[in-house]
Structures are given as C-alpha cells and as structure tokens.
C-alpha cells in the first residue's frame, strides 16, 4: 500500500485533499492511511510534520514497511479529507536539513571528515563528524565556507535513480536504501541520498552558524543553527549585548575589555577577602583553643555552629588542629547536620574511626583519615549528642594510647 508522497513533488505545498484508504483503531490513536499526503513521516533524522487532517490534529506521522504513510489522529476519518501542514515547522525542518547537507559536505571538502550521524532537535541541530578534535579556526573556516555557498544561491535539486545508475552521482556515502533512490544535489557541490524535505536553494537559508562543538566518543559533535533559527539566535545575542552595554554605560565593542578588567578586580578582591577571612579565623581559633576542654594529653574544642559555610568551618578546624595537642570537634546545625573532626599531628588518635562510630547517631555517612574526617546525616536533633559521643570516644582512645 504505497502512499503518494506529495512532499517530494513540492516541499512547499501545505494543503491537499486525499482519500482515506484505511482507518484503524489502536489503544493510543486512530491510524489513518491516505492515497496521497503532504505530511512528511519521521525518518532519516528529520522529525515528522504536524498540522491537521480532516480538522483533527495530527499527533505523529510514521512510515510503514509497505510504503504506507500512517497519520495518527484522535478520531476516525473516512471518505475524502483535507490536510493542512504546519508551515512554520515544515520550513524549519527544511532549513535545518539543507543546512546539515551543506555543513556535512563542507567538512568533507575542507577536512575529509564524513558525517556519521545527525540529529534535528527542537532548539539546535548536531552532526557527528569523523574528527578527533576541532579547532576554533577550523570551525570558523567551515562556517565561513557555508555562508559563502549560501550567498552563492546554489540550486537544491532532487534526482530519482536506482542501484544500477546511482554511480552516476558522486555521493558522499553509499545509499542506505534499496529500490528507488532519491538524490539531493546542492548544485555542483554535494550529492547525498536523502528522502527529506529541502529548500529550493542555499540562498533561502540566509545564514548558518556553528554554536558549539565537543568531543563525542571518538568523533566531534558540532552544533549549528540554520535559517530562521540562526537569525533568531543572532537577534537574541545582539539584544543581550546591547542591553548589557546600555546598563554599563559603555559601547558594545568595549564589553570584552570591561569583562577582563572586572575579572581581574574580582580576583584581586577575592584574594583580599580570603586573606582577611583567614586572619579572622586565626583569631577565632585562638579564642576557641583558649576555652578548650582538657582531655588527657589533648585539648578538645567542641563546638556547634549555625549559618556558616562548611568549607569555612573546615578551615577553622584545621587552624585549631595546627596547634600541638589540639582536636577540633565541630558540628553544623541545620536541616543537614555535619560533623568535622581534625586533630594535631602529634596526637595518637584515629578521628576517621571515631567519626564512623558516631555518625549513626545522626543517621549519617562519611569518613576520612586518622588526622581529618567529616560526614553528614539527616537527624539534626541528635547533633549535640553526636558531638558529645565524639568527645567521649576521643577521651577513651587517648586513655588507651597513653
């Protein structure tokens, strides 16, 4: 049951009439097969069209093995129906798909790198090319080449052939289908077996922009935008940079220098704040040590804190433990209680073992070395009991070792 594919005859056609050949109920939808359709069925990396059929929203379109195109709708249809394809979605798919052909061909021409996969996403399109890495200079060269070919307005044509005659076309890669083969040509530059929809010329793309690339397995995944997507991206970036320049009362061209200068000032400020913080923590550590509890040969600073960054308390505990014979037993009050144990290097004490013994009191997990350990739990009401238990364990361990 072969459906006539009107989208191959005219990708710009969005309205049609067709006769319902079958309408089958499934648990999720009604599957409608027509004698002809403008709806592209999802295949080859291009998503299906959307729109309406007989006044019903088309939820999806798929290609059956026998060549029939199946339209998914929410109610039965019969007789002759009218279909309307969502033109904005169709045009976007045509722009991205033609952009993919162009960019893939450019990577072959410039770097001998084939495209092994591509994906047309809702926000951007990607191609996976056979390159272990891609430099900024190479990406720019590919992008400039694509846009030069766009300005050239090369015609995009289709050719129908078969396995016996396909060798007449210098395809980028062998066709993956049998029987009739549809070849999409970018005039004199690229030939690829493809069943998707495309614009009439590269000039209709207007613009192609590479936005990112990354290592993917042993390939390079290149993200790009073509046509209206690229234009919208440019408009958004232009609006953002101009608004930022206006807020800062500087010119757009001055933004990079302003960012560099601000980053230097921020780094300098962070260093100064860090130094002052360490000075204040050193004073606080001395005050805590002055009030420490004598436990055998050690001085134990047992303290719970609220509303302070955990990393700050780790630094404070380290300053306490820098004093010979001192042990910091710190806890943080809050929804997620945490413990920090840190002891001076001259003490014979395994705080990693101790913290593992007391963490169950707060339903916690953690660990560390004999010198420093930490952990967190989920029972804040047991924090003080856990700190007291840690001090008792330290006292017991010191008595045994002495």
Q: What is the per-residue pLDDT for 402? A: 54
Q: What is the per-residue pLDDT for 176? A: 78
pLDDT of 75 strictly over 70: yes
Averaged pLDDT, 325-329: 96
Q: What is the pLDDT of residues 241-272, one digit of tens each?
A: 999 999 999 999 999 999 999 999 999 999 99
Q: What is the pLDDT of residues 163-210, one digit of tens each?
A: 889 999 999 988 877 788 999 999 999 999 999 999 999 999 999 999
Q: What is the pLDDT of residues 34-73, one digit of tens each?
A: 999 999 999 888 999 999 999 999 999 999 988 899 999 9
Query: What percent of the chain is predicted at pLDDT more than 70?
Result: 99
pLDDT of 360 strictly over 60: yes
Q: What is the per-residue pLDDT for 1? A: 59
| 3-state secondary structure string across the chain | CCCEEHHHHCCCCCEEEEEEEEEEECCCCEEEEECEECCCCCECCECCCCEEECCEEECEEEECCCCCEEEEECCCCCCEEEEEECHHHHHHHHHHHHHHHHHHHHHHHHHCCCEEEEEECCCCEEEEECCCCCCHHHHHHHHHHHHHHHHCCCEEEEEEECCCCHHHCCCCCCCCCCCCEEEEEECCCEEEECCCCCCCEHHHHCCEEEEEEEEECCEEEEEEEECHHHHHHHHHHHHHHHHHHHHHCCCHHHHHHHHHHHHHHHHHHHHHHHHHHHHHHHHHHHHHHHCCEEECCEEEEEEEEECCCHHHHHHHHHHHHCCCCEEEEEEEECCCCEEEEEECCCCCCCHHHHHHHHHHHHCCEEEECCCEEEEECCCHHHHHHHHHHHHHHHHHHHHHHC
Q: What is the per-residue pLDDT for 401? A: 63
């Amino acid at each position: 049951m072969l459906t006539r594919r009107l989208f191959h005859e005219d990708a710009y056609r969005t309205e049609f009439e067709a006769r319902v050949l079958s309408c089958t109920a499934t648990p999720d939808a009604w599957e409608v097969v027509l004698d002809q359709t403008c709806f592209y069925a999802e295949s080859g990396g291009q998503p299906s069209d959307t729109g309406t059929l007989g006044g019903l929203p088309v939820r999806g379109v798929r290609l059956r093995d026998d060549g029939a195109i199946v339209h998914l709708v929410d109610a039965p249809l019969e007789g002759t129906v009218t279909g309307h394809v969502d033109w904005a979605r169709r045009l976007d798919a045509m722009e991205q798909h033609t952009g993919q052909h162009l960019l893939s061909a450019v990577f072959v021409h410039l770097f001998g790198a084939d495209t092994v996969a591509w994906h047309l996403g809702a926000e951007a399109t990607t191609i996976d090319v056979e390159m272990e890495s891609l430099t900024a200079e190479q990406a720019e060269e590919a992008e400039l080449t694509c846009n030069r070919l766009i300005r050239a307005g090369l015609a995009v044509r289709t050719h129908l052939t078969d396995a016996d005659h396909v060798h007449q076309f210098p395809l980028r890669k062998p066709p993956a289908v049998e029987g009739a083969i549809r070849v999409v040509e970018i005039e004199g530059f690229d030939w690829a077996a493809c069943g998707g929809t495309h614009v009439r010329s590269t000039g209709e793309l207007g613009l192609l922009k590479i936005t990112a690339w990354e290592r993917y397995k042993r390939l390079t995944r290149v993200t790009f935008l073509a046509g209206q997507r690229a234009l919208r991206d440019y408009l958004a970036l232009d609006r953002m940079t101009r608004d930022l320049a206006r807020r800062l009362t500087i010119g757009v061209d001055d933004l990079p220098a302003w960012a560099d200068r601000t980053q230097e000032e921020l780094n300098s400020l962070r260093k100064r704040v860090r130094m002052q913080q360490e000075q204040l923590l050193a004073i606080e550590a001395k005050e805590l040590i002055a009030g420490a509890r004598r436990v055998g040969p050690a001085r134990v600073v047992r303290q719970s804190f609220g509303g302070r960054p955990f990393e700050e308390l780790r630094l404070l505990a380290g300053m306490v433990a820098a004093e010979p014979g001192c042990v910091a037993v710190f806890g943080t009050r809050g929804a997620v209680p945490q413990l920090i144990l840190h002891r001076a290097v001259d003490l014979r004490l395994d705080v990693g073992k101790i913290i593992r013994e007391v963490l169950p009191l707060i339903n916690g997990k953690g660990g560390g070395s004999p010198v420093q350990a930490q952990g967190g739990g989920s029972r804040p009401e047991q924090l003080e009991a856990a700190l007291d238990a840690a001090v008792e364990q330290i006292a017991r361990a010191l008595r045994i070792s002495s």
